[in-house]
Each structure stands twice: as structure tokens, then as C-alpha cells.
Amino acid sequence: MLTPDLAPPAAAADGGAGALIDISHLQHVPRRYWGRYSCAVLILVALALLMIAFARGQIEWRYVGHFLTARSILEGLLNTIMMSVLAMALGIALGVITAVMRLSANPVLSWSARGYTWLFRGTPVILQLLLWFNLALVFPTLGIPGVYTARTVDVMTPFLATLLGLGINQGAYTSEVVRAGLLSVDIGQYEAAKSIGMPRLLALRRIILPQAMRVIIPPVGNEFVGMVKLTSLASVIQYAEMLHNAENIYYANSRVIELLIVAGIWYLVAVTVLSLLQSRLEAVFARGSGRVTARQ
């Protein structure tokens, strides 16, 4: 901001309308960002009050340190990560297949993909987990009659029910991400592949999908981070993930808040590591795209 000092402004050198104005007498005053300063102060005060509340609360921090590396918690963390990877792999596979079906000219394939996406995006994840876990109430046995059959209650373990519930649900969301990535590729790429006689599936695998990855990777990485936290819902069907094991411990010793803090710390660690890996992967697929890198 420029403000004049006590001296009056000097007149134009030659008095003409187009003459330059002398601004050497003006003083530079830095702009004050009072809104930013106020917000920063409020945030710092809120963080300080939050830290004071946790410090004065009825929390035995020694239990947090003790159970942070407890065997049951670490086993639950391993189960959480393993289930996240497997469910996400199943979801990506189903998502790619569904996206290709959705873009197919065959109306049966296209509407089947639409129905799958509509059904599994429209119902809560916890409902789907409970349905898979209680599948024996609808199908008492699974298999081929006369060849091999097994009781559904023996087959549908908490692990398998969680994998199917999370993986199939994730496939419905991933299909929309993949479809958006495929549509982002210029139509000329499809026409060029067709002009040289390349089959559709081969063109998708070697030309279209590699170009669509830079659009697909960021949201899929975000879904993967969400999957790590979504596995906590599997505690309702007794899958031994981290939150379920933490609940079992605080049911026994009544240290509820301490065990929840332990679980929260490990979730933050897992999400932080995955976020860093996602950033590196985005940077790799952003190369040669003519745009700024994912890191920038």
C-alpha cells in the first residue's frame, strides 16, 4: 500500500496530461493480513486447549506405551494391512472388468455393470458384511450337488466374509474411477488402435490403460487409504483386525481410551506410509504427461 507523506505530491514535470507522475515521495506500507493472523491464533489456542485436556484427562499414558507394541495389537495391525491389500486387489480387478463392461456396446454387459454398481454403492458396507457372514441362512450348503458340497457356515469364515464384503463393495467404487480414467483418454487413441487392426482388449491393455493411469492412480490411492480404516467395520463379524483386538483388551482391563489411542496411533502410521507411497506412484505415472509432477 502506498501512502503519501506530509509533503504534497509534486506536479507533473511538464504539466501535460500524459506526463509521468513522480511517486518518489510515497512511502511503502506492508499490508496487514489480520484475518490470517486471527485464524492462526485461534488454531494455536484450540490445539493448546486440546493438549491440555488430554494431559489432564483420566488417561494412563503408561498403558498406551505398554500396549503400543503388544502382540495382539501387532497381529491385528498385520491382519488389517493384509485384508486391505487383498480387498483392494479384488476391488481393482472387479472395477476394471466392470468399467470395461460399462463402456461395452453390448447392452446386457453395460446394464449388468450398471446394476452391480448401483447395488453395492447403494447399500451400507456394514450391511454387506453382515449379509455375507450370515449367508448360511439363505444357502445352507455351497458347491456342486453330487460332486462336492460344504456347509456354508464352515466356508464363510470372518476372513472370507470380510474379503468378499469389502472387495466387492470396493469394486463398485473403483469401476467409476476406472471408467473416468478411460474416458479421459483422447478418442483418437481408440481410433488409431482400431485403424491398425488391434483388438479392443489389446488396445485397452497396451495403449488406453497406461495413459489413463495418471488419472486413475490418485483416487484409487485415496480409496486404498480409506480401505485401511474401513476394515475396522469387520469387528462386527469377529474378524481379528486391529480395532477388534483392541476392544478385546479393553473389555478385560477397562482401559478404553488408552487402547483406542493405541489403535489410532497405528492407523495414523499406516495411513502416513501409504500416503507417501501414493505420492511416489503418482510422480512415476505423471512423467511425460506434459504436466507438473504429482509432488509439485
Predicted confidence (pLDDT) per residue in 53-97, tens digit? 888 877 888 888 889 999 999 999 999 999 999 999 999 999 999
Domain limits, the chain: 2-55, 68-286
DSSP 8-37: PPPPPSS--TTPPPP-TTEEE-PPP-HHHH
Short-list 267, 79, 251, 78, CA closest to 157: 79
Question: Which pLDDT belongs to residue 1?
Answer: 46
With 0.95 as the threshold, say if the pTM is over it. no
Environment class of residue 113 by beta-carbon count within 10 Å: exposed (0-12), middle (13-18) or buried (19+)?
Answer: buried
Question: Which pLDDT belongs to residue 239?
Answer: 92
The C-alpha atoms of residue 212 and residue 218 are separated, in whole angstroms, by 11
Q: What architecture is domain 68-286? A: Orthogonal Bundle (1.10)
Grid cell, residue 90, equals 479384488
Question: Which pLDDT belongs to residue 84?
Answer: 94
Question: Which pLDDT belongs to residue 176?
Answer: 92
Question: Which pLDDT belongs to residue 154?
Answer: 87
Question: Which pLDDT belongs to residue 295?
Answer: 46
Query: Residue ranges of the chain with pLDDT lower than 70?
Result: 1-19, 287-296
Q: In whole angstroms, how large is the CA radius of gyration of the chain?
A: 29
Check: CB of residue 73 under 8 Å from CB of residue 242: yes
Question: Which pLDDT belongs to residue 186?
Answer: 78
Helix (H) or strand (E) holding 144: strand 141-144
